[in-house]
Structure 1
Amino acid sequence: MMDSHENALNQGTKEVKLSEKATTNETTEKSEAQNVNADTAAKSPDQPVETQPKDEAENLATKAYNSKKEIIERLKAIVDSDETPEKAEVEHLKTVFYKLHFAEREAQQKTYLDNGGDPEKYQVLPDEDEEIFKAEMTIIKEKRQKAFLALEEEKQQNLQKKEAIIEQIKAMATTPDEANKNFDQFKKLQHEWKEFKTVPAEKSNELWRNYQLYVEQFYDLLNLNREAREYDFKKNLEKKTKLCEAAEKLADEPDIISAFHQLQELHQEYRETGPVAKELREQIWTRFKAASTVINKRHQQHFETLRAREEENLKKKTNLCEKAEELAKKENKTSAEWEKITKEIIAIQQEWKTIGFAPQKMNVKIFERFRAACDDFFGRKGEFFKQMKEQFAENAEKKKALVEKAKALSESTDWKATSDKLIALQKEWKTIGMVPKKIGDQLWNDFLAACNHFFEARNAIHADSRNEEYQNLSKKRDIISQLKELVEQAGENLHEKVQQLTEQYNKVGHVPYKEKDNLYKEYHEVLDKIYKDLHITAARKRVDNFRNNLKKVADRGVDALDNERGRLLRRYEQLKQEINTYENNLGFLNISSKKGNSLIDEMNRRIQKLKDDMDEVKQKIKAIDAENK
């Protein structure tokens, strides 16, 4: 029976330790600032020093602070007071301070970069609030350490006193006579036992087991004062019954953490309460243990749920780390691409803040992984914009040089050469990369103004020449119209009239450049038609005259006709060879340019003339053959 009681209470003690650790994890505000320099924070002893009411301590461990000044004021109040702060509150103050501190520092850095600051030259300036915070935390650390040592000393003294009490009760529980004689002294020792509270944790269970053993032995030997013993048994039963009722009532407590802590207090009271009648000991203990089991199961389930939620949070945070790492690896080539990925990274950071804590052993590690990915991205982004800024500066210098060159040429009157140079500068301008918009607009306006100044002056000078070109255009079109009329008339002296008009056409000066090709085409089309008609008429006359003269040739003999025929055949082959040569050369000409196209037209006209001449020779050969018959 003693072993079952002891095992259950031992289990309760273990769960007290577990709950203290888990509750600290749950109620102490965690932050990504857990990687803060350990030297800035005070370390607390493993066992908390209870110096404040529990409700008040819990409130202080979760109190909201809006500024570093408020936290420092609280630290100063702790230093100036006699109280020893809870470990949870100290950790909470440290976490919230550095959360605010890091947010403030990041905001300062962002402002610096947004105002055009160089990322490489940014320096974190010393913070007076942080220095004060460290100093106050050092004092608090020393204060807690001192209180911890004092408590440890008190525990050792209580241990020695309780061991002495056990030895005295042990000496009294040897015989019934000794038990009866020392009953009053026994009651006094029980009262003293309750006054000495805390002892070293590693000695607590063994100490209580020995105490309970000899107390029960004493009561079992107590015979003379049976009424006193029965009265003690009755009072102890009443007290333990109330403890059972209180433990059973805890099943309705909505705050499972609070219920568990209250249960530990009931366990302590149960330990300190004396025995009940032998026949009731197992019964009352079974009832108390059953009520404790309900609370312990709820408490265990609570932390299993908490651990499961933390594992799920770890999965979510791992997924965000992978996303951030993937985005950080991307090779962004433009500022727009960098800004797009920046928005995605910031969105991931916002999502991260909505996820609760990961398991304690992984919480810092997973944050360090996430922070590393974000730092890598923003570091590369800063380097990109640094290089882009340098490139902008280089581009600006190049454009400034072009502006100076354009200004130097703006007053020139060498219209053709300067026009070519300015056009070359404009082409070069397009090859230079971007510059900041503010300075870029000003450079462009200066460059454009210099170019416009020159071209406006050139256009003003050439205004008269353009008028003359349009007048020449009108004259040449009038000549073309007259040539077209000659095609329709086909009268006498056509060749002479065409010759006169072509001479007039060639004497007219330049026409507007954009009209030149169309005018050239129209002019040569009408000439081709005229010359073709003139050529056919002339050729027909020459063949007729040739036929008329054949009799005179025949009178000189048959050999004279044969010689003439041979001469015509050689002429025929010569013309044929020339046509082949022209046609071969035609295949090598490039017609991609307007000049090439004009040359092809001219060669086609020559080929057609040769073919007409060859046809004329052919008609003469036929005339000789007819005469020979």
Structure 2
Amino acid sequence: MGTKKEEILSEEIAAETSEKEITQVDNNILSMNELIDKIGLLSENKNPYLVSKEVEEIKSIFYSKLKLEENDKPFVQKDKEKQEEVAVVNKELHPLEIKFKSIFNTYRKIKSDFRKNREREEERNLKTKLSIIEDIDNLAKEEESIKTTFEKFRILQEKWRDTGHVPIKDNNNLWQSYHHHVELFYDYIKLNNDLRDLDFKRNLEEKSAICEKAEALMQESSLNRMHNSLQELHEHWKNVGPVRKELREELWQRFQNTSKQLNKKRNDYFLEKKKQDAKKLKSKAAICSEIDNLTSKNIDSHKNWQKITDQCNNLESKWKELGRLGKEDNKIAWRNLKDSLNIFYQKKNKFYKQKKEDSKQIIANKIVICEKAEALQENTDWKETGKQFIQLQEDWKESGFAYPSQSNKIWERFKKACDTFFKARKMHYKNLEKERESALKEKLSILEKLKSFTKSDNPKEDIKKLKVFSNKWKSIGHVPRNQMTINDEFFTLLDSIFEKLGLSKKDLATEHYKNKINSIQGNKKAMTSEQQFIKGKIDALKKEIAQYENNISFFATGQNTKPLLKKAQKQIDNARNKINEFKEKLQLLNKA
């Protein structure tokens, strides 16, 4: 059977649909599994043509959802590298599509079997009705009484009404042939006015009842039930015989006018619905434009993609909340939505594929950072290693985002290395603080003893004792940072005692410098700075000597230049003496 014939058959059968058979569920909100289950349920309908439109709608919705899921699949499985590659390459059917095809093919077979059975039944009905027409034609040739003949005619009429549909191509000719032979029969029996009038009366009553039923349909709230009932009444009208000639036009006009009012009511509803659908279609198209605009600018971060994906989902929900449209408008609206969503998810998919490639390099960089941290975690150069760890932590932050499934293990390794170092450093400084508190107590004790020191008659012995104080102080170690002034207090006091003992300026300067070294010992930065300062002084003095020697070379020989020469030579000797002093200081620094 051709497509056109199948559509006619479908419309013819759909006219038999009762209100309870029309689904009230919006199939767009169902999941793919629920759509498959619903086709299975609809397949159980005794008449598959009653649900054919809905089955086709479900098919369209199912494949729309399947396409969206397949577009989204590679980045849904982005943390499973191998599965993603398979998802991109694999061309096999989706498991749900296999299940859907199986259920859908079952429905198609049921529908095909039903159509074939229907065709066979219509052929049988055609033969039956042709036989009825032939029997009516033969009634006029019988020699029985009019009453008996009329009773046979009535039986044939009932049989005609009880016989179902015939093939659509034969319907019109068959009806005209039937109507023609009925009129011939009435012409045959017109001699018997009583029987004819009785039949006219019965037909009038039946057709009047049909008109009343049609008029009552004006109060029917369901347009589907109203339309289907009207079709049944028209079919019934055809099967009722004629009425008296003078009443025929009036009765027909009554039924026809009511039919027009009912059809207008139905048409007005669909015209209004068409206007509403046009507005909905426009609104849905605007939503699709909004979805298109979401990716009009470059989106370069996972966070932003999450944000606009939520916006896209909200817009899709908003699109669905507008409700269904007419069949053709619905196709256009769904096509527009699918196109917009396909473009959106294709761009999203492309971003995450590139993100996956970038992620490989990011992971490699993080592994290098992790390995550096693990190599440093046991290092006890607390200051320098601490700086390196802080830099590694900054490098980790700047290395880029990687999916937790790929980076968590590396992060745990890196965190463990950092924790190992910083916990050890914390413990070291905690112990060091205890040691410094202990050193402070010892130094306070020495300071008190030094304050009570009294000079004896033997300066040499006093100097030895003072050096014992100095060496003892030096051996104790560092005090807390907030108590560092105790060193200045100690060495200032020590210098003042040395002065009182009458040391030579040179010895006193040496002792002063040794005390200075003791006060800064352990402070690497201060020691380095002092060394650089002395070296700078030595270099400056050497330049000064070179300048004086250069000036002397220009002096003329004679009595007038001797004072200048003598003065220059003295400056050179002083500079050399200072250089020797600085060198001695440098030696003391290097030995410390």
Q: TM-score, normalised by structure 2?
A: 0.60
Cα displacement string for residues 553-597 of structure 1 (whole angstroms, at most 9, x for unaligned residues): xxxxxxxxxx9xxx9xxxxxxxxxxxxxxxxxxxxxxxxxxxxxx
SS of corresponding position for 1:274? coil
Q: CA deviation at 1:195?
A: 5.0
Name the amino acid aligned to 2:364. Answer: E
SS of corresponding position for 1:343? helix
Name the amino acid aligned to 1:149. Answer: E
Cα displacement string for residues 342-398 of structure 1 (whole angstroms, at most 9, x for unaligned residues): 111111222233222223123233213312322333343344345445544533432
1:300 equivalenced with 2:270 (yes/no): no
Q: How does 1:398-413 map to 2 (within 5 A)?
A: 398-411=365-378
Q: CA deviation at 1:98?
A: 8.5
Of 330, 333, 337, which residue of structure 1 is paired with 2:304? 337
Cα displacement string for residues 388-423 of structure 1 (whole angstroms, at most 9, x for unaligned residues): 455445334323323323333455577898677667
Q: Counterpart of 1:46?
A: 8
Tell whether the 8 Å contact from 2:370 to 2:413 is kept in structure 1 after alignment.
yes
Q: CA deviation at 1:340?
A: 0.9
Q: CA deviation at 1:76?
A: 7.7
- Return closer, same or farther for 1:132/1:428 CA change in 2, 3 Å cut-off: closer
Q: Counterpart of 2:516?
A: 508
Of 65, 70, 86, which residue of structure 2 is paired with 1:121? 86
Cα displacement string for residues 158-216 of structure 1 (whole angstroms, at most 9, x for unaligned residues): 574577578779x99xxxxxx99987886676556545543343554455456546645
Tell whether the 8 Å contact from 1:244 to 1:288 is kept in structure 2 after alignment.
yes
Cα displacement string for residues 264-290 of structure 1 (whole angstroms, at most 9, x for unaligned residues): 111122222222222211111121122
Q: How does 1:251-330 map to 2 (within 5 A)?
A: 251-330=218-297
Of 456, 460, 474, which residue of structure 1 is paired with 2:488? 474
1:62 equivalenced with 2:62 (yes/no): no
Cα displacement string for residues 35-63 of structure 1 (whole angstroms, at most 9, x for unaligned residues): xxxxxxxx9663149899956x6534538
1:374 equivalenced with 2:374 (yes/no): no
Name the amino acid aligned to 2:8. Answer: D
- Return closer, same or farther for 1:197/1:365 CA change in 2, 3 Å cut-off: same
Q: Counterpart of 1:146?
A: 116
* C-alpha RMSD of the superposition: 5.4
1:87 equivalenced with 2:95 (yes/no): no
Q: Counterpart of 1:30?
A: none
Q: Counterpart of 2:328?
A: 361
- Return closer, same or farther for 1:359/1:52 CA change in 2, 3 Å cut-off: closer
1:250 equivalenced with 2:217 (yes/no): yes
Name the amino acid aligned to 2:418. Answer: L
- Return closer, same or farther for 1:332/1:104 CA change in 2, 3 Å cut-off: closer
* Bigger Cα displacement from structure 2, 315-324 vs 356-365: 356-365
Between the aligned partners of 2:161 and 2:13, the Cα distance in structure 1 is 19
Name the amino acid aligned to 1:339. Answer: Q
Between the aligned partners of 1:359 and 1:218, the Cα distance in structure 2 is 48
Tell whether the 8 Å contact from 2:36 to 2:100 is kept in structure 1 after alignment.
no
SS of corresponding position for 2:252? helix
- Return closer, same or farther for 1:513/1:385 CA change in 2, 3 Å cut-off: farther
SS of corresponding position for 1:46? helix
Q: CA deviation at 1:472?
A: 9.3
Q: Which runs of 5+ in 1 are unaligned?
A: 1-42, 79-83, 173-178, 483-495, 521-562, 568-629
Q: How does 1:420-435 map to 2 (within 5 A)?
A: 425=392, 428-435=395-402
Name the amino acid aligned to 1:86. Answer: P
Cα displacement string for residues 75-130 of structure 1 (whole angstroms, at most 9, x for unaligned residues): 7866xxxxx52312355457568868987998998899379445443476535744
Tell whether the 8 Å contact from 1:233 to 1:275 is kept in structure 2 after alignment.
yes
Of 394, 397, 421, which residue of structure 1 is paired with 2:361? 394
Q: How does 1:73-112 map to 2 (within 5 A)?
A: 74=41, 84-92=46-54
Q: TM-score, normalised by structure 1?
A: 0.57
- Return closer, same or farther for 1:431/1:505 CA change in 2, 3 Å cut-off: farther
* Bigger Cα displacement from structure 2, 196-205 vs 454-463: 454-463
Between the aligned partners of 1:468 and 1:287, the Cα distance in structure 2 is 116
- Return closer, same or farther for 1:508/1:185 CA change in 2, 3 Å cut-off: closer
- Return closer, same or farther for 1:215/1:125 CA change in 2, 3 Å cut-off: closer
- Return closer, same or farther for 1:426/1:506 CA change in 2, 3 Å cut-off: farther
Tell whether the 8 Å contact from 2:369 to 2:396 is kept in structure 1 after alignment.
yes
Q: Which runs of 5+ in 2 are unaligned?
A: 437-475, 497-503, 531-559, 565-592
Tell whether the 8 Å contact from 2:136 to 2:153 is kept in structure 1 after alignment.
no
Between the aligned partners of 1:366 and 1:152, the Cα distance in structure 2 is 39
Q: Counterpart of 2:555?
A: none
Q: How many pairs are equivalent?
A: 454
Name the amino acid aligned to 1:113. Answer: V
Name the amino acid aligned to 2:255. Answer: F
Between the aligned partners of 1:240 and 1:105, the Cα distance in structure 2 is 56
Q: Counterpart of 2:317?
A: 350
Between the aligned partners of 2:219 and 2:42, the Cα distance in structure 1 is 38
- Return closer, same or farther for 1:180/1:468 CA change in 2, 3 Å cut-off: closer
Tell whether the 8 Å contact from 1:406 to 1:450 is kept in structure 2 after alignment.
no
State the identity as a percent.
26
Tell whether the 8 Å contact from 1:119 to 1:382 is kept in structure 2 after alignment.
no
Of 117, 126, 136, which residue of structure 1 is paired with 2:106? 136
Between the aligned partners of 2:185 and 2:43, the Cα distance in structure 1 is 53
